[in-house]
Structures are given as structure tokens and as C-alpha cells.
Amino acid sequence: MHAKNQQYFEALELAEGLLSKCLSHVKVGCSENGRLNAAKLDNAQQVTSDLASSVAELACAKAFLEYSESKGDLEHELAQTFSAEMILNVRARITRCPVDFGCEIADLKGFDVVAGWDKLCAANLQKLGQIIVEGNGAIGDRGLDEEKQLMVETFHQFSEDVVKRWAEDIHRKDLIIPDEILDGVRELGCFGLSIPQKYGGLLADGSEDSLGMIVVTEELTRGSLGGAGSLITRPEIMARALLDGGTEEQKNVWLPKIAEGKPLCAIAITEPDFGSDVASLKMKASPVENGWLLNGAKAWSTFAGKSEVLLTLARTDPDMKAGHKGLSLFIVEKPEFDGEEFVVEQAGGGKLSGSSIPTLGYRGMHSFNLFFDDFFVPQDNLIGEGQGLGKGFYFTMRGFMGGRIQTAARACGLMSASLDSALAYAKDRKVFGQPVASYQLTLIKFAKMAMYIGASRQFTYKVGRLMDEGGGQMEASLVKLLACKLAEWVSREAMQIHGGMGYAEETTASRLWIDSRVLSIFEGTEETLALKVVGRALLDRAA
């Protein structure tokens, strides 16, 4: 352990110990006959959410400190300052109402003797902000090997040369992603990042490369979230489903096509009345000769118009009591449409219709409401065929975990773009005779932006490495929960630094702020992650 970081690691350990005590208290209060009780948990939502956020913040701080151990002074300063702020965040939540957490004020006294709070004083933050300004936003070495660093450079250049030229028009004119971007992403092999080489992808057989997907997603998002940053998520989810549950014939047919980016893929999971509550999905798949008829509605199917394949989750067991065990996964084929509405009519009378949902931001892919009316899907397109019945929920889970870590990567890319835009404006724009970048409050904003980006990035990278080793499920939810919140703050402050121009539609900062709002909503809403995923898992593990 580096001597500079020792006191911060000790403070984190102290805070983690207190959170363990809090979790045990909540678990006891929410249990009945030795098991967690759903009704009692619903009456402890605030404290559960607070604990989930606190665990995420401490895990992120620890990852940032660990990364900084072998780095220079800037990385140490950013990691230590971030850690001090996160520990104080935890302290503030518990201090607000200690009884909710099963604590007393005396339990918090240990925080008062931990050195390092001076990192958060205005003078120190101002000094750190000045370093960020003078370095034009540089926040230190990313800690990547040569191969991953080359990926960063390649996709950063593609974002600069191609994606950014389209970004404003895609947003302001609500355009579908242009072929120049799609063809460029295809040529760079993006759609094959999670597909083994034996099926035509780039992934070495028998290995994983979540970290590669993370750095690619981060750099594409830096150009545009809707225009490029989400392109590889849906193919990755479909590829994972096929790799986990598909027959060998299905893998050989579909995976090479997905790797090539032809056809493009969309996901049809969410329903109008059911978002994250997958077990309650109602869309029916009824068996008929040589296949299935799909009936029902899906919502928020991103890129469903342009895509020629919809990975669709439907209920093959009509008994709702079967819950998620009654769901199966289908590959639904359709023609490509560039417009905002489409209708597919089958010779046998089946129909699939879609209409795009107007959104504040995240434009380029268009999200659709879909309606299936006796739409026929051949037996060969049931993933796993007979062995896949009732297993659709499980086949999608690995892909969802990948979607969460990719969303954290998107948050990192969006934050980096926000910092870039704010720095460029603040250095050029003068107010009361001085550049906006010279004022203390602006410098403090830049210091916090830098440490939020650095911390989120390193936590995301750490989770990617854990996933490549076969773990990281909980951590993927933690980093998604935290990074998306931080992205909203960073993009908001970048917009604020622009003053009145930040509110103008023509500025990059306004687009980034609007796009940031979707990050805490898709791939698991903030509330669902905090309560049903992270919070529930933490309470299950508590002593």
C-alpha cells in the first residue's frame, strides 16, 4: 500500500464497517421468520436506497485509490479527494437520521479523527482545478495495456472524424443514424467484439473481453450517445443469449451475421405496463404447426425500425404463476425501415407494427412501441428450440449485465465530452474582464468533474476485468448506479459554465445534458437497481 493512500484506505475500511452494521440492522427489521419480507422492505426503501448508493460510492473510491497506487501525483490527488468526498457523503446520509440506520451519533465519531478532509477545502480544489485547466482536461494515465490503449486511440479518432460531424444534426433534426457511422463501425469490427472467432467475431475463442467493449463504448459515446455510443449493446445482448442458450446450428447461422453487423439487432423485452419487472411480462407465444404466434405489445424497443432482427421475450407458459420461468426467447425477423412508423404483414395474416416514441434526447436510434398480432415465428427461431422453453429470462441475464457495464462506460464518455466542451468555452469566454476558467467556482467545478470522470472510469475498468474473470455481477450494478448519477452532475455543470449559451440548442453542452438523463433510466432504472438488485443482494448477504 502506498503511504500516501494509507489513511484513505483506513477511512474506507471504517466506513465499510459501519455500513455492514447498518445493513444488519435493516435486515433484522425487514425479516419475518428468518426471511426478508417484501412488505417490510417496501417500508424501508429510503434507507435501502441510501445504503446501496453508499456501498457504490465506497467501492468506487476504493477502485480509484487502488488504481492510483502505481501512478503519479495527479492521480493520487484525484483519488484521495474523491475518496474524502465519498466518505463524507456516507457520513452525511447516516447523520441525517441515525435511527433509520440503527446507529447512534457516537458511531460516527471515528470519521472525525480521519485526516484528509482538508482535500475538500476551496483552496485545494481550486488548485486542483487549475491543474486540470492547464492540462486541457488531462486526468492521468488510464492504466490500460498497449492493446486496449490502441483501441482507445482508434475509436477516439473515429469519433472525432466521423461521429462528431453528425452528432448535432442527429440530435436537433432527430435523424436515424447515418450509414457513414454504421459502415464505419462495421469496418472497425465493433459488432463482433463479444463473438468468438470461430463464429466470425473478434473475440479469441474461450476468452472474454468486456474491457475492450468498455473502452470502445466510452469513446463512441464521447462523439454521440444516440449516434454511436449504444450501437454495440443490442448485438452483444443477442450474441450472449445465443452463446448461452442457442443450438449449435443457431450459433453457426446467426453469430457470423451479428458480427458483420448485417442484420442490425434490437431488443424487445419491456412492455407498456412492465419495465424492469420482467417476471410479469404478458406477451404470449402460442404454439402452432412449425412455430409460434406472438401476440401482445412491447415498448421502448430501441432501433427496432432500422433493425432486421428483434430479440423478443414472450410467455410460452400461459400460467402467470410461472413468472420468469414461463418466458422464452425468440429471434423475430423483419425488413429494415428508416422511418418512424412501420408495418410488416405476413402472408398468413400475421402483423407487426411499430411507431417511434418522441424523446427529449438519445436520438439517432429511435425507440419504438411494437404490437404483435398473430405474428408467426418459425420453430428454428426459438433460442435453444425445445431445450430453450422457459429459459428465455436466464438467456438474457448475462446480456443485461453487459448492458449495465456498457451504460457505465457511456456515462464516462459523456462526462469526458462534457468536460471537453466546458473547458473549451470557459477558456475562451470572458466575463467581467476575465476568462470564465480563471474564477474559483469554475475551477472547483473542473476539479470535481475530473475526479468524477477518473473515479467512474477506473471503477468501470475494474468491473470489466472482474467480468472477464467470470464475476462482477453485483459490481456492474454498483458502477452503473453511481456513474450515471455523476454523469448528470458533470453534464449539468458543463452546461452551467456556458451560462446562457448552455441553454441554446446549438451548443454541445445542452445535448450532453439532455442525453445524460436517459442513463439512470435504461438498462435498469436507478430505483430498481438500488432497491431490487443492489439493495436486496446486500441485505441477503448481511450478517
Task: Convert the pLDDT of each residue in 212-231 to its tens digit.
Answer: 999 999 999 999 999 999 99
Contact 12, 61 (CB under 8 A): yes
- Which CATH code, of 1.20.140, 2.20.70, 3.30.1180, 3.40.50, is assigned to 3-120? 1.20.140
Distance CA 142, CA 148 (A): 10
Q: What is the pLDDT of residues 189-213, one digit of tens each?
A: 999 998 999 999 988 887 889 999 9
Q: Identify each DSSP E strand in 151-198 by its residue range.
A: none
| pLDDT over 60 at 1, yes or no | no
Q: Which three cell numbers stand for residue 46?
A: 429510503
| pLDDT over 90 at 111, yes or no | no
| pLDDT over 80 at 274, yes or no | no
| pLDDT over 80 at 164, yes or no | yes
pLDDT (0 to 100) of residue 401: 72
Spacing of C-alpha 50 from chain mean position = 20
pLDDT (0 to 100) of residue 517: 95
| pLDDT over 90 at 369, yes or no | yes
pLDDT average, residue stretch 399-420: 91
Which amino acid type is present at position 463? V
Which amino acid type is present at position 211? L
| pLDDT over 60 at 113, yes or no | no
State how beta strands 367-378 and 351-356 pair: antiparallel
| pLDDT over 70 at 154, yes or no | yes
Dump the DSSP string for 224-268: -IIIIITTTHHHHHHHHHHHHH--HHHHHHHHHHHHHT-S-EEEE
Q: Residue 177 gets which letter from DSSP? A: P
Distance CA 330, CA 480 (A): 28
Distance CA 528, CA 521 (A): 9
pLDDT (0 to 100) of residue 277: 61
Residue 55 backbone class (left: φ over 0; alpha: ψ -120 to 50; beta: rest): alpha
Question: What percent of the chain stands above pLDDT 70?
Answer: 97
- Domain boundaries along the sequence of the chain: 3-120
523 noted as active-site residue: yes
Q: Which helix (H) or strand (E) holds 482?
A: helix 473-497
pLDDT (0 to 100) of residue 159: 97
pLDDT (0 to 100) of residue 208: 85
Q: Which of 218, 475, 523, 526 is catalytic?
A: 523
pTM, full prediction: 0.93
| pLDDT over 80 at 477, yes or no | yes
Average pLDDT, whole number, for the chain?
92
Q: In 3-state terms, what secondary structure has residue 419?
A: helix
pLDDT (0 to 100) of residue 273: 73
Q: In 3-state terms, what secondary structure has residue 317?
A: coil
What confidence tier does 104 reach under pLDDT thresholds 50, 70, 90? Answer: confident
Q: What is the pLDDT of residues 38-86, one digit of tens each?
A: 999 999 999 999 999 999 999 999 999 999 999 999 999 999 999 999 9
Closest CA to 508 of 414, 384, 405, 377: 414
Q: Which helix (H) or strand (E) holds 369?
A: strand 367-378
